[in-house]
Structure 1
């Protein structure tokens, strides 16, 4: 196990009825900027609850955050926050809303423009504090300092990291997920599942605590997914989903361990290029990457097969069956898994590779041995079916 430091300052309130604590969590006497996606805030009941909790306080609201937000979306919100003199940001939504809120929190007091912050990773001092009310689970954005933001100017989707933007609190109340349509739940489950895989499906290590934590989360997410597939979703299902997805990307699974975020980074380029839903890019890309990297991953895949899927047999066979079971799980959730169905052209594949190069993602994989020529080759091969 590699030496590590672990600190997550987010106060997580998980379970039924936790939304009632919102009023006491938002600091008093502060000007508050509330950021929402839109109709989902109304449908979930979050909008009415937030307004009731903030009764008598000074706040402004911004609606209409879309999936895969851009810095161009963030800029007018940042200006509104500055004009209003916002001192606290409350994000009410899923990963896109929370990511945008964290990015705005960093840019409000920045001297640089948003494009410079995103592309050069600048970290202004004293970002605004952020709180989150989660109405769509899967990303785990409520307990980390990571924001995935796009630039319409350059057609890039990049990762912005600032430890100071980690939310001070997050409310994970299953009541707020009851109104979500099935595809939204399915995509969230897949997103969280891939988060865990990318932190554990590398090669065998002696990090047994992180290994078993990852395996427990994968089994939990499989159970949540199976309840969704059987149309047996209950509040307990949603609570387990919220908790698992937050743990999946809260920094605990990856402490001291090798990681492989190739699927995510290639997926980001697909989103930037084609506007595809984030989770769909993951279920398109992961089977391709893992099959191409099978020889390097097969030992850990065999372990996961035995421990998570309870498969038996020769290690290589179990490893292949494990990958097949993962892909089957995605399909059962109703998500796409065949990259060739996108009919990517050579020009589009070249743009994906160019995007990775521009983002300085020159070598990916747990051993940093997946270079741009290899990525281009595996995308071309997969696109031919």
Structure 2
């Protein structure tokens, strides 16, 4: 292990913490509050934000989609530029926070913000942002990554830069009380796959990273089993904190990472608007079976330490089945059939998208070629 690790995001965790933003942003700074479809006006979050910012000059921008689009976000970019915004506060889940990161970076660039996603523009600065998390899933509230969709071309691409990492994150589990069931389940699945992408690679003997990853996976298993008892403060708090720790940079530090499931899954979302988490559940089991030999050691370790399965020559295979059973227990599908035309055409569309983005060698070993991806999709798409 050789690494440099820092996470500069200040976390304000617990009930009533939204009020902390009054001291987290200087009163002299003009603030843009970005949020989604307006649910924060129904669950009391908007009122709490308004109260906390009563001594600040601020404006708002709403309408950020579940998969934030460049087309919508560019309208917020214009506001930041035209109104000389000093600070952005994202109020929402991963989509709103990701979108706000795009706005923060694009607002400091004179060209088309999509250049950032295509690698044509290297970020040097961004408008500072903070986050008020309302949906635990992505960990975006305390990391430097974002994923943005371009509706016009049906593309979904990621970018990362330290300049867009939130300065602070407010995490109040109470805001989860009004979440739809589908979003709660998505949060469990998304956090699960985030851990897996950093864990199911090869044995590393990185005791902290591997041990902590296994703890997070066991947390999510328990939360899944206790899903019918989810209406309590402890369940909400544990999901919110576990999802954050799944992708705040710690468990992936100094160890191999995969992310092929995400790169392939993004195309399901871009093409057919599949929920992000559910696209991951569609891809992952088929990918693991396709790559089982190179991942066998880690799958066996996961089977033993996370699922408490008995040793045996087929332990890796049983571990993949256990992962699939976890998704099914949450009523999340692991195959996809909701496409137009026919299966070969659907697969060809995904492959074409991946090739256009240069994603032709994926995984921790860059061994998932387009041919391997096609094999994975033959199994995942029905």
Match of 2:46 in 1: 47
Per-residue deviation, 1:16: 2.0
Match of 2:331 in 1: 334
1:283 aligns with 2:295: no
1:90-112: per-residue Cα shift (whole Å, max 9, x none)? 00000000000011000111122
Partners of 2:311 and 2:369 lie apart in 1 by 33
1:208-257: per-residue Cα shift (whole Å, max 9, x none)? 211001001101111222222x2343111111111111111111111111
Match of 2:93 in 1: 94
**Aligned equivalent of 1:301, options 283, 299, 302:** 299
Distance 1:124 1:258, change over 3 A: closer
1:149 touches 1:159 (CA, 8 Å); kept in 2?
A: yes
Q: Secondary structure at the match of 2:157?
A: strand
Per-residue deviation, 1:341: 6.0
TM-score in terms of structure 1 length: 0.95
2:18 touches 2:52 (CA, 8 Å); kept in 1?
A: no
**Aligned equivalent of 1:270, options 259, 268, 271:** 268
Match of 2:66 in 1: 67
Partners of 2:169 and 2:130 lie apart in 1 by 6
Partners of 1:239 and 1:121 lie apart in 2 by 40
Per-residue deviation, 1:337: 1.2
Q: CA RMSD in A?
A: 1.5
Q: Secondary structure at the match of 2:239?
A: helix
Distance 1:293 1:251, change over 3 A: same
Q: Secondary structure at the match of 2:78?
A: helix
1:227 touches 1:233 (CA, 8 Å); kept in 2?
A: no
1:121 touches 1:160 (CA, 8 Å); kept in 2?
A: no
**Aligned equivalent of 2:320, options 318, 323, 332:** 323
1:183 touches 1:334 (CA, 8 Å); kept in 2?
A: no
Partners of 2:230 and 2:77 lie apart in 1 by 41
TM-score in terms of structure 2 length: 0.96
1:44 touches 1:175 (CA, 8 Å); kept in 2?
A: no
1:106 touches 1:123 (CA, 8 Å); kept in 2?
A: no
1:311 touches 1:318 (CA, 8 Å); kept in 2?
A: yes
Partners of 1:194 and 1:292 lie apart in 2 by 17
Partners of 1:382 and 1:8 lie apart in 2 by 36
Partners of 2:315 and 2:302 lie apart in 1 by 9
Which aligned runs of 4 or more in structure 1 are off by greater than 6 angstroms?
Answer: none
Match of 2:348 in 1: 350
Partners of 2:266 and 2:214 lie apart in 1 by 25
Q: Secondary structure at the match of 1:44?
A: coil
Deviates more, 1:346-355 or 1:185-194: 346-355
Per-residue deviation, 1:347: 2.3
1:62-120: per-residue Cα shift (whole Å, max 9, x none)? 11111111111111110011111100000000000000001100011112211212212
Match of 1:7 in 2: 6
**Aligned equivalent of 1:372, options 344, 353, 370:** 370
Deviates more, 1:116-125 or 1:84-93: 116-125
Per-residue deviation, 1:340: 4.7
Partners of 2:31 and 2:363 lie apart in 1 by 41
Matches within 5 A, 1:75-94: 75-94=74-93
Match of 1:125 in 2: 124
Per-residue deviation, 1:197: 0.4
Partners of 2:142 and 2:24 lie apart in 1 by 15
Per-residue deviation, 1:39: 2.8
Per-residue deviation, 1:52: 0.6
Distance 1:225 1:26, change over 3 A: farther
Per-residue deviation, 1:323: 1.2
Partners of 2:73 and 2:88 lie apart in 1 by 13
Match of 1:383 in 2: 381
Deviates more, 1:27-36 or 1:123-132: 123-132
2:339 touches 2:346 (CA, 8 Å); kept in 1?
A: no
Per-residue deviation, 1:136: 0.5
Match of 2:238 in 1: 240
